[in-house]
Structure 1
Amino acid sequence: MARYLRNVDLNLLSIFTALMHEKNISHAAENLGMTQPAVSQALKRLRSLYNDPLFERKSGKMMPTLKADEIYPIINKILADVSSTLPDIGDFSPETAKLDFHINALGVGNNDFLTKLSQRLAQLAPNISLTVTTDMLIDAEKSLRDKEYDLHLDYLTIDEIGCHHQELFNDNLFVIARKEHPNLNNKVNLLLSEYLAEKHAVLAPRKGNVYSLTLALQDFSFNREIKYTSTSIENILEIVCATDLICIMPGSVLQSMHNLDDFIWFNPPFKTKEMIAYMNWHWSMEHVKSHRWLRSIIADICKGIQSLPETT
């Protein structure tokens, strides 16, 4: 076996994983710091090595063959294991680093979390700048690949082979209303009929009609009277606080609001799944020391994020 491996250029394996992630020779070359002809030549050698096309052009992308899908998990794990044994190359000092981080946060980026992140960066890395947006990404994988954002925080994972993700915290859903709501202010529990009788504020669905909170609802097939729709969770809570509309939201978001005492909340009168907040990033940033440092800071802060207490 060892003698056979001596005849194999193991550098080809990292090029193979790059092509699996990017599905594009130019993008793979850019992230590998290689020329496009060099990656094309490596692909020819890979095809000869495995006696398989490995990638076939479809709809403008280099799509993996069944053989490529079969060997990818094995090769990817081997490279990750080897990488974990190597010393961390390159210097990164948070105290002196001058970097601009851009985080896109949908729902996960509540006020408490963002305040703690800003404080931690100011303390540990005073020369680092932070931009936080709440953009509805049409193609999240491409946005991360093109370095438009360093991280995407969401209650959904980016299910593309080019992206990695990490769980940040678990959350629960609650029905939320203003404290002085005329129909709900004296209630302890909420009936389904009472929930459906109210007017609702909801988050706008995303591309493909994907709505992260809806994914957490089980067997919910009832019609609600929706009167307000927004892409911002915080904006919806402001509207709920100022009107008789109600909404359903992750408890950690309301928990972080400065005016928590202005709201009342109830366990939903129907089955829900636990919400999980995720941090998503592109594979090309996996071993970048500054990026790894930022991810560790965010993961540490999120350990302290709490949801609302469930009502009894």
Structure 2
Amino acid sequence: MELRDIDLNLLVVFNELLHQGRVSAAARTLGMSQPAVSNALSRLRKLLGDDVFLNTSKGMVPTPLSERLAEPIAFALGTIHDTLNSKAEFDPATSARNFTVAMTDIGEISFLPALMKRLSEVAPGVTLSTVRNTAVNLREEMENARTDLAIGFLPDLQTGFFQRRLFSQRYVCLFRKGHPLAEQGITLKSFCAAEHVAIVAAGTGHGMVDESIQRAGITRKVRLQVPHFVAVGHILQTTDLIAVVPEAYAKRTLEPFDLETAVCPVKIPQIVINMLWHGRHHREPGNQWLRQTVFEEFSS
């Protein structure tokens, strides 16, 4: 016998008849008519090839087969009922869950120090893993619940995803202290004359930097191209190169690398940093907690 051949309602009637011992009493408890309960009993007898219950002067008595089935069926129905009616909970103070968050290297620099400090205070057993949102099929990873949350400028994630704005930021010029431009200020002329390190972060919003500069009819003197932000602070610290970077990243590098910033003379649109999650996680308590934690820590 296969589960697909069994109507779960028949087992509910069976369980109630065991408790009540009479069709009339079971019908009242189940909110069914007596003929409907009798019909269910007939179907159950046919399915099991057994009388199931015998009519006696003391009511309905279970057959030996019914007595063997009674406990496992009651347990199974109770488990199903409890599962369907239970509300999932998430306790950050006791959880040992690992969350996977997609972000760029600049996201790691901007978010992880404060986020890990917060987790150590309120969720000491919770761990994080990060993945590059450009190194995986992010849509597929989030649809299949392998990635819980994404943070960044991700205009390609639309259908099936929720998002919440964290903050917007402008682009600034970044260079070492003592750079000739630090005293003169960065004009459009000095911006064009300077040598640049360009960050070519494919698949991220930072591509708009080159697009905006090109639309303005400006050709930069790009001395160095790198695919990420990891080494930019080290490079600027020891050279006269300048870089156009998001202001949040610049603030993180000023003190450690002894750098300075200036307003970029080329108009570059601000970018909006969002956190995004798939619809399947929308009501999941752990994901809700993580989203609220990120929002409280970084929204402005």
Q: TM-score range by the shorter chain?
A: 0.5 to 0.7
1:184 aligns with 2:181: yes
Query: Which AA in structure 1 matches 2:139?
Result: E
The answer to whether the Cα contact below 8 Å between 2:174 and 2:242 also exists between their aligned partners in 1 is yes
Comparing 275-284 and 110-119, the one that deviates more: 110-119
Query: Which AA in structure 1 matches 2:242?
Result: I
Deviations 1:189-220 (A, max 9, x none): 31112111111112224259972544676943
Q: TM-score, normalised by structure 1?
A: 0.62
Q: 1:208 & 1:258 partners in 2: Cα distance?
A: 23
Aligned match of 1:78: none
Q: Pick one of 236, 243, 266 that aligns with 2:239.
A: 243
Q: CA deviation at 1:284?
A: 1.1
Aligned 1:291-306 pairs, distance under 5 A = 291-303=287-299
Q: Percent identity?
A: 20
Q: 2:116 & 2:198 partners in 1: Cα distance?
A: 29
The answer to whether the Cα contact below 8 Å between 1:106 and 1:134 also exists between their aligned partners in 2 is yes
Q: Pick one of 185, 194, 218 that aligns with 1:198.
A: 194
Q: Pick one of 72, 90, 93 that aligns with 1:92.
A: 90
- CA separation of 1:209/1:223 partners in 2, compared to 1, >3 Å: closer, same or farther? farther
Query: Which AA in structure 2 matches 1:264?
Result: E
Aligned match of 2:41: none
Deviations 1:129-173 (A, max 9, x none): 112344524532122223332222112333330222211112111
Aligned match of 2:216: 220
Aligned match of 1:154: 152
Deviations 1:33-79 (A, max 9, x none): xxxxxxxxxxxxxxxxxxxxxxxxxxxxxxxxxxxxxxxxxxxxxxx
Q: 1:220 & 1:198 partners in 2: Cα distance?
A: 17
Q: Pick one of 251, 255, 259 that aligns with 2:251.
A: 255
Q: 2:150 & 2:238 partners in 1: Cα distance?
A: 30
Query: Which AA in structure 2 matches 1:92?
Result: F
SS of match in other structure, 2:295: helix
Unmatched tracts of structure 1, length 5 or more: 1-86, 305-312
Query: Which AA in structure 2 matches 1:280?
Result: L
- CA separation of 1:207/1:265 partners in 2, compared to 1, >3 Å: closer, same or farther? closer
Q: 2:273 & 2:213 partners in 1: Cα distance?
A: 16
Query: Which AA in structure 2 matches 1:249?
Result: V
Q: 2:212 & 2:292 partners in 1: Cα distance?
A: 27
Q: TM-score, normalised by structure 2?
A: 0.64
Query: Which AA in structure 2 matches 1:151?
Result: L
- CA separation of 1:280/1:213 partners in 2, compared to 1, >3 Å: closer, same or farther? farther
- CA separation of 1:166/1:232 partners in 2, compared to 1, >3 Å: closer, same or farther? same
- CA separation of 1:217/1:99 partners in 2, compared to 1, >3 Å: closer, same or farther? farther
Larger radius of gyration: 2
Aligned match of 2:165: 167
Q: 1:267 & 1:105 partners in 2: Cα distance?
A: 26
Corresponding pairs, count: 216
The answer to whether the Cα contact below 8 Å between 1:158 and 1:280 also exists between their aligned partners in 2 is no
Higher helix share: 2
Q: Pick one of 254, 279, 282 that aligns with 1:283.
A: 279
Q: 1:88 & 1:108 partners in 2: Cα distance?
A: 40
- CA separation of 1:261/1:227 partners in 2, compared to 1, >3 Å: closer, same or farther? closer
Unmatched tracts of structure 2, length 5 or more: 1-84
Q: CA deviation at 1:290?
A: 0.3
